[in-house]
Amino acid sequence: MKKKLRVLVCLGGYNPEIAGGAIQQENIINNLKNKINFNVISFSKLFDDRVSLSIKKVYRIKKYNNILILKSIFKLIVYFFAIRNSFDVLHLRGGAKRILILIIMGILLKKKIIYTPTRYLEDDLNTLRINNKFMYYLLLKVDLIHCISPIFFKSKNKFITKKFNYKYIPNLVDTNKFKKEDKVENKIPKIICVGFFSKIKNQLLLYKAWLNILQIKNCHLIFVGKKNFDYYLSKKDIYKNIFNDAKNRNILNKLKFIDHDRDMKKHYNHSDIFVLPSTTEGMPNSLLEAMSCSLPCVVTKLKFITTPIIINEKNGYLFTRNNKKDLENCLIKLIKSKKLRKKMGKTAKKYVENNFSFKKNYFKYEKMYHDIYAIDK
């Protein structure tokens, strides 16, 4: 019997935590677990260190503050060497600083290494080349750069097509899970926005646009995302400012805040329009999920990030980054026309099924792992 390929994945969080990269990797593992043996290292913010190899094959490293981080690093090194003969390929997703030690150990042990940047202007290679030259030097030695969006090998990152071995496989969505369900039509249209409160997710822009829209057409706004997230990009003050302003205006009955929920399909199906006002992204999972649920989407125009997903005025609307008036105009068109919402949502669903569904594309990840292992073998 042919031995299964063994892959060790390292990422920021993992089930039951909720994060885009974690959900992506969870889906990959679930689809390929009969063909590939996976272990996971999770730099979790919610769990203490634990080894559960015999059950979930997940090892969690809690991030410590101050000098105690040395304890975390020591445990990581010990664990890595303990299982060095239990994996063939090391797959590192985002979080460049935390994976530096793993890259060094992977190189020393001559493991095949895949690096997946996950957020443009944060852990893409051009940003690292400018801000973290040592990290960039180490990445020159990895075997493959896995790009989840064209932005990671185009624009300022186009140099990787000449200097690196790279492969483009986008984030995918489970279209069997995320689908439109029969429901009672909302008498008042509901707009949904998903993401932890931060400047990059740009909820404040949407809130200000919504306030102006209320003067023209009644509609409700739903924010789904953590209000106080232990992450350096998270900004709790943004939530507080929105809440307090809505309270002062006496419109809290039109506004809803929901902590991130694993049953996101329910929230998409209770909404009428999805908005992604982000100033930057990697490959937005929430957008794919919303489109898969047949929601019309209004999305910031981010070249090589959202432009490969949204065909303007066909399967959604693209608006100029940070342009409140442009956002308002797109939303008003959808709020005023149920027919347009239905038509655009149907087109969005079809586009995702054809281009970003796990069912049709998960084999690409299997091939990526096997191809990289086969090099020089």
Task: Classify strands 50-51 and 58-60 as parallel, antiparallel or unpaired.
Answer: antiparallel
Dihedral angle sign, alpha carbons of residues 151, 157, 158, 161: negative
- CA dist 268 and 286 (Å) reads 10
pLDDT for 338? 94
Take residue 319 and report the two structure tokens written for it.
């608006």
- CA dist 377 and 372 (Å) reads 10
pLDDT for 270? 94
pLDDT for 233? 59
Q: Decide if pLDDT at 32 tops 70.
A: yes
- CA dist 9 and 92 (Å) reads 6
pLDDT for 48? 53
Phi, psi of 300, rounded to the nearest 5 degrees: -60, 135
- CA dist 295 and 351 (Å) reads 12
The mean pLDDT of 23-44, rounded to a whole number, is 88
- CATH classification (class only), 190-355: alpha beta
Q: Decide if pLDDT at 261 tops 60.
A: yes
pLDDT for 18? 67
pLDDT for 65? 56
Per domain, the residue ranges of the chain are 5-172+362-374, 190-355
Q: To the nearest whole number, what is the mean pLDDT of the chain? A: 89
107-128 residue pLDDT tens: 999 999 999 999 899 999 999 9
pLDDT for 234? 53
189 CB burial (10 A radius; 0-12, 13-18, 19+): buried
The mean pLDDT of 83-99, rounded to a whole number, is 87
201-246 residue pLDDT tens: 999 999 999 999 999 999 999 999 887 765 555 567 899 999 999 9
- CA dist 78 and 84 (Å) reads 10
User: What DSSP element (H or E) covers 275?
Assistant: strand 273-276
Dihedral angle sign, alpha carbons of residues 285, 290, 291, 297: negative
CB 11 within 8 A of CB 27: no
CB 148 within 8 A of CB 118: yes
Output the pTM of the full model.
0.91
- CA dist 111 and 373 (Å) reads 9
- CA dist 297 and 166 (Å) reads 30
pLDDT for 158? 97
On the question of a common fold for 5-172+362-374 and 190-355, the answer reads yes
The mean pLDDT of 122-141, rounded to a whole number, is 94
41-86 residue pLDDT tens: 887 766 555 544 444 577 777 655 555 677 778 888 888 998 999 9
CATH superfamily membership of 5-172+362-374 = Glycogen Phosphorylase B; (3.40.50.2000)
Confidence of residue 368 (pLDDT cuts 50, 70, 90): very high
User: Residue 202 — left, alpha, or beta (φ > 0 → left; ψ -120 to 50 → alpha)?
Assistant: left
Confidence of residue 346 (pLDDT cuts 50, 70, 90): very high
CA 49 to chain centre: 24
